């Protein structure tokens, strides 16, 4: 029996060692393999980059640590110095002792077990993902005074996080999640399974230029305003090629145009392009190209970014382009017309907007367009016409049969929609977040459209009005037929058809637009009709379409039965200019045309962007009115409460915003934001990053307090963000937040194309690599069993032979 056990154990050790040996380890056999392996190159380049940084330049904190307070840090420092490194003076020995303590006292999360990742949580639970291991490792090294940085990358193609330490004048990789053998391996051995992607919270300065490391050296800022105005990106940092532009670069003050050298392979524009007006790509760049100031892939099949501040009024999509972010690509406020090369196989243009080749789907509306004509072949869907701040008129051509839920979404300047007789169905909530009392629905007398308008508080007219110039204050602001049972304060007759053809499009049938066939050559765009009066500068468009409102304590309910609201009372400044004028004036005064400024101006001057009556609680179906205080200014800057907000500090007239939940902001986490200082029953929209993600739509309580609870999406971008609480009166409170997310390293961090929704990154992407020890034990046990079985089966024959 003794021989059986010895033999089984030997078999188990040998076989499990073979199973656990990473395939990548064999890639380094031979004298030349390690010299050129991509993992080795990535890890070596990361250390090379850090050598340009003095140790003092490494931060002793990181947003990736999550909810890690000063009290947590003080308690951890006391523990580390008294229980782990007491009596040890040499930094390398201290670091090794900390590494060994973590390996011995923290275990990987098992299946179904929640892994901790903040230092305090890991210390308390002693269960962690690989991210939790490295976060605790960093926090302990920080309080011990040992410079170190967090690194994200891969281990055997699995996303992982570890640390780079600086000790004795040398940087080296160290991983606490994979056992004691990974404290200070040689670079070659460490590269057998690890590959660096990003070094976090590290900036290397070279003159006015500031660099980070993300799959190579990335330019992240320029401190010289004059140099930034017409920025020529350096191709080298010392002897290292500059290969990427970070999203942080586009926040540089004064940035107008960028020239990219041949070395640049990636550009991260997920946070927008700021004040940029034009991209230029140098000859010889094999990864990128430019066209009409927009940035494309080298073959132009993918549009990466169209500058938000580009001054051009029209843009032509090249023949080869087949993909772009359809929600935000053409948000520039100056852009009024989109054209498409006649031979483009995917897209076509019609009346200045972008469609699929067969016109069955409306794909993009330019940010500066004021009058949209929707092709009769198009099938509308949710958000087909959304977040176009300049859009005042929409004409639906004959052939369109249905208007589904939220087809019209977040259109503050919308004043009229012209329906054809072919429309037979309009969803109760087809209009979301439009100024309902100011919108006229144009259709045939006695039609479905008239009934819909009367039931939901819209104005109705049989003929279209000329409102091509929104600054005139005319057009649908004075309809001929108010909602059923109401009479306007100052009745007016409907306007005659406009000279620009907007009314004439109705033909002999009052109201709906006459049928209009696509041009004979649909790929060659037709020129949009010119308005009779000059157009004002358009307002810019918000970034990507918001997600559906998240849950909140007072979240507005699902659409209720139709009702007829009272018309809203004009605010004290009524008649002195509409939202379009205020935006233009604010932009002029600010000397800027970037999207963020325009959004702030809109938020600050919005009169009554009311929620559709069907979306309000039954008892609150009347549109909200402005406060009675004349000329009361909206408040953009507000008191931000650090940490947990005390509800007792909030109340009527107290303008504060903060978090009530003691949480870590990371993907999958739930945050609760409370804002105070609104009118009783005022509708408040909570938004992350000025319109890019709607967190929730709620009503303020009787004390003027609004609260929303929101779960951060798994694919949310890490870094600095802003939460805004926007009231219907224009009052806006805002607060900065940091999201410490772990990126999905299988995706390029610089793509401007929206990430696929089929494979969202997970909060616990790093859990798998922290479980190698448990896997090893399981494999060893399996092999022991197999060895015993084999030897038992062989024993009878052995005995007989002897």
Asked if residues 642 and 662 have their Cβ atoms less than 8 Å apart, the reply is: no
Strand 148-155 to 194-206 pairing = antiparallel
pLDDT at residue 561, rounded to an integer? 36
User: Model confidence over 483-496: pLDDT tens digits?
Assistant: 544 444 333 333 33
CA 496 to centroid of chain Cα atoms? 45
| DSSP string across 718-738 | PEEEEEEEEETTS-EEEEEEE
Pair of tokens at residue 68 = 């890690």
Does residue 744 sit in helix, strand or coil?
A: coil
**What Å distances lie between residue 71 and 154, 326, 644, CA to CA?**
33, 46, 14
Residue 588 has pLDDT above 70, yes or no: no
Which of 45-54, 170-179, 419-428, 558-567 is predicted with the least confidence, judged by mean pLDDT? 558-567
Which of 238-252, 372-386, 417-431, 643-657 is predicted with the least confidence, judged by mean pLDDT? 643-657
Over the chain, what is the mean pLDDT? 74
Which of 32-41, 286-295, 514-523, 671-680 shows the highest mean pLDDT?
A: 286-295
Asked if residues 80 and 98 have their Cβ atoms less than 8 Å apart, the reply is: yes
Which of 227-241, 568-582, 716-730 is predicted with the least confidence, judged by mean pLDDT? 568-582
Return d(Cα 600, Cα 531) in angstroms, integer.
28
Residue 71 has pLDDT above 80, yes or no: yes
Q: At CA 716, angle to CA 711 and CA 720, rounded to 5?
A: 100
pLDDT at residue 271, rounded to an integer? 76
Residue 740 has pLDDT above 50, yes or no: yes
User: Model confidence over 293-315: pLDDT tens digits?
Assistant: 999 999 999 999 999 999 999 99
Q: What percent of the chain has pLDDT over 90?
A: 47
Q: What percent of the chain has pLDDT over 70?
A: 63
Ordered by start, the domain boundaries in the chain are 38-202, 656-739
pLDDT at residue 114, rounded to an integer? 87
- Residue of 270 and 518 predicted with greater confidence: 270
Return d(Cα 426, Cα 192) in angstroms, integer.
61
Return d(Cα 540, Cα 602) in angstroms, integer.
10
Strand 402-403 to 425-426 pairing = parallel
Asked if residues 315 and 330 have their Cβ atoms less than 8 Å apart, the reply is: yes
Q: What are phi and psi of 261, to 5 degrees?
A: -75, 175
Asked if residues 335 and 312 have their Cβ atoms less than 8 Å apart, the reply is: yes
pLDDT at residue 468, rounded to an integer? 52
Asked if residues 49 and 213 have their Cβ atoms less than 8 Å apart, the reply is: yes
Residue 778 has pLDDT above 60, yes or no: no
Residue 320 has pLDDT above 50, yes or no: yes
Which of 34-48, 153-167, 592-606, 771-785 is predicted with the least confidence, judged by mean pLDDT? 592-606
pLDDT at residue 540, rounded to an integer? 38
Residue 480 has pLDDT above 50, yes or no: no
CATH topology of domain 38-202: C8orf32 fold (3.10.620)
Counting every residue written for the chain, the total comes to 802
CB atoms within 10 A of CB 388: 28
CATH topology of domain 656-739: Immunoglobulin-like (2.60.40)
Span 3-14, average pLDDT: 51
**What Å distances lie between residue 207 and 203, 242, 253, 255, 648, CA to CA?**
12, 15, 16, 17, 49
Residue 702 has pLDDT above 80, yes or no: no
Segment holding 188, helix H or strand E: helix 187-190
Span 447-459, average pLDDT: 95
DSSP state of 201: E
Which of 35-49, 74-88, 104-118, 688-702 is predicted with the least confidence, judged by mean pLDDT? 688-702
pLDDT at residue 537, rounded to an integer? 39
Return d(Cα 156, Cα 145) in angstroms, integer.
32
Asked if residues 253 and 85 have their Cβ atoms less than 8 Å apart, the reply is: no
Residue 330 has pLDDT above 90, yes or no: yes
Residue 422 has pLDDT above 90, yes or no: yes
User: Model confidence over 424-448: pLDDT tens digits?
Assistant: 999 999 999 999 999 999 999 999 9
Which of 122-131, 168-177, 437-446, 670-679 is predicted with the least confidence, judged by mean pLDDT? 670-679
Going 288 to 289 to 294 to 297, the CA torsion angle's sign is: negative
Using a 10 angstrom Cβ sphere, with 0-12 exposed, 13-18 middle and 19 or more buried, the burial of residue 364 is: buried
pLDDT at residue 653, rounded to an integer? 67
pTM of the model: 0.60
pLDDT at residue 559, rounded to an integer? 35
Segment holding 230, helix H or strand E: strand 230-232
Return d(Cα 542, Cα 545) in angstroms, integer.
8
- Residue of 31 and 272 predicted with greater confidence: 272
pLDDT at residue 676, rounded to an integer? 86
**pLDDT bucket at 793, cuts 50 / 70 / 90:** low
Return d(Cα 444, Cα 123) in angstroms, integer.
70
Return d(Cα 297, Cα 210) in angstroms, integer.
25
CB atoms within 10 A of CB 246: 22
Using a 10 angstrom Cβ sphere, with 0-12 exposed, 13-18 middle and 19 or more buried, the burial of residue 557 is: exposed
Residue 458 has pLDDT above 50, yes or no: yes
Pair of tokens at residue 765 = 């992407």
Asked if residues 693 and 676 have their Cβ atoms less than 8 Å apart, the reply is: no
**What Å distances lie between residue 137 and 117, 124, 134, 183, CA to CA?**
11, 14, 5, 11
Asked if residues 713 and 688 have their Cβ atoms less than 8 Å apart, the reply is: no
User: Residue 425 forms beta bridges with which residues?
Assistant: 402
User: Model confidence over 668-699: pLDDT tens digits?
Assistant: 777 888 888 888 777 788 888 754 567 777 77
Segment holding 71, helix H or strand E: helix 70-79
DSSP state of 463: S
């Amino acid at each position: 029996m003794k021989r059986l056990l010895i033999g089984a154990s030997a078999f188990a050790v040998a076989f499990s060692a073979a199973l656990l040996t990473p395939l990548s380890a064999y890639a380094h056999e031979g004298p030349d393999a390690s010299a050129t392996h991509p993992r080795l190159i990535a890890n070596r380049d990361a250390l090379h980059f850090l050598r340009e940084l003095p140790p003092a330049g490494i931060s002793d904190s990181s947003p990736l640590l999550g909810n890690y307070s000063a009290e947590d840090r003080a308690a951890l420092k006391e523990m580390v110095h008294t229980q782990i490194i007491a009596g040890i003076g040499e930094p390398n020995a201290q670091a090794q002792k900390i590494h060994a303590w973590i390996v011995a006292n923290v275990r990987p999360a098992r299946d179904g077990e929640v892994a901790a990742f903040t230092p305090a949580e890991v210390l308390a639970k002693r269960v962690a993902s690989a991210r939790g291991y490295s976060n605790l490792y960093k926090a302990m090294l920080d309080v011990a005074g040992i410079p170190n940085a967090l690194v994200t990358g891969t281990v055997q193609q699995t996303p992982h996080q570890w640390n780079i330490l600086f000790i004795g004048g040398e940087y080296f990789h160290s991983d606490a999640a994979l056992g004691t053998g990974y404290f200070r391996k040689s670079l070659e051995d460490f590269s057998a399974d690890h590959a660096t992607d990003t070094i976090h919270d590290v900036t290397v300065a070279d003159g006015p230029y500031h660099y980070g490391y993300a799959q190579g050296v990335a330019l992240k800022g320029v401190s010289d305003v004059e140099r930034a105005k017409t920025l020529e990106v350096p191709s080298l940092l010392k002897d290292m090629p500059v290969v990427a532009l970070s999203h942080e670069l586009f926040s540089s003050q004064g940035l107008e145009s960028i020239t990219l050298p041949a070395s640049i392979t990636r550009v991260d524009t997920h946070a927008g392009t700021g004040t940029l007006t034009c991209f230029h790509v140098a000859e010889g760049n094999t990864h990128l190209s430019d066209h009409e100031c927009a940035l494309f892939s080298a073959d132009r099949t993918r549009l990466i970014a169209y500058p938000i501040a580009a001054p051009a009024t029209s843009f032509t999509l090249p023949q080869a382009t087949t993909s772009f972010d359809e929600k935000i690509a053409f948000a520039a406020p100056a852009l009024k017309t989109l054209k498409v090369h006649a031979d483009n196989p995917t897209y076509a243009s019609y009346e200045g907007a972008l469609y699929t080749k067969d016109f069955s789907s409306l794909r993009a509306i330019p940010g500066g367009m004021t009058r949209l004509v929707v092709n009769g072949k198009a099938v509308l869907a949710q958000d087909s016409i959304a977040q176009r701040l300049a859009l005042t008129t929409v004409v639906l051509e004959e052939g369109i049969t249905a208007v589904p839920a939220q087809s019209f979404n977040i259109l503050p300047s919308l004043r009229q929609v012209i329906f054809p007789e072919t429309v037979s169905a309009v969803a109760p909530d087809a209009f979301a977040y439009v100024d309902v009392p100011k919108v006229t629905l144009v259709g045939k007398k006695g039609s479905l459209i008239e009934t819909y308008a009367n039931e939901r508080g819209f104005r109705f007219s049989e003929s279209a009005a000329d409102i091509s110039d929104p600054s005139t204050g005319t057009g649908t602001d004075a309809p001929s037929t108010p909602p059923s049972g109401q009479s306007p304060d100052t009745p007016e007759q409907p306007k005659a058809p406009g000279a620009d053809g907007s009314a004439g499009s109705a033909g002999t049938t009052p109201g709906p637009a006459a049928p209009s066939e696509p041009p004979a050559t649909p790929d060659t765009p037709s020129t949009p009709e010119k308005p009779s009066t000059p157009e004002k500068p358009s307002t810019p468009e918000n970034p990507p379409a918001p997600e559906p409102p998240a849950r909140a304590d007072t979240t507005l309910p699902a659409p209720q039965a139709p009702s007829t609201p009272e018309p809203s009372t004009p605010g004290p400044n009524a008649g002195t200019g509409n939202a379009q004028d205020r935006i233009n004036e604010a932009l002029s005064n600010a000397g800027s045309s970037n999207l963020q400024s325009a959004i702030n101006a809109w938020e600050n001057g919005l009169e009554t962007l009311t929620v559709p009556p069907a979306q309000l609680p039954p008892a609150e179906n009347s549109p909200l009115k402005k406060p009675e205080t004349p000329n009361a200014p909206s408040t953009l800057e507000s008191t931000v409460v650090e940490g947990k907000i005390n509800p007792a500090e909030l109340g009527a007239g107290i303008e504060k915003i903060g978090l009530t939940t003691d949480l870590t902001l990371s993907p999958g986490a739930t945050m609760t934001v409370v804002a105070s200082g609104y009118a009783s029953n005022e509708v408040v929209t909570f938004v992350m990053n000025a319109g890019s993600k709607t967190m929730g739509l709620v009503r303020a309580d009787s004390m003027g307090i609004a609260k929303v609870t929101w779960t951060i999406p798994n694919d949310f971008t890490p870094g600095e963000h802003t939460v805004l609480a926007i009231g219907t009166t224009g009052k806006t409170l805002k607060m900065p937040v940091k999201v410490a997310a772990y990126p999905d390293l299988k995706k390029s961090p610089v793509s401007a194309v929206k990430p696929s929704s089929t494979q969202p990154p997970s909060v616990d992407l790093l859990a798998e690599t922290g479980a190698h020890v448990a896997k090893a034990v399981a494999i060893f046990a399996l092999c022991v069993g197999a060895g015993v079985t084999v030897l038992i089966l062989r024993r009878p024959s052995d005995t007989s032979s002897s």
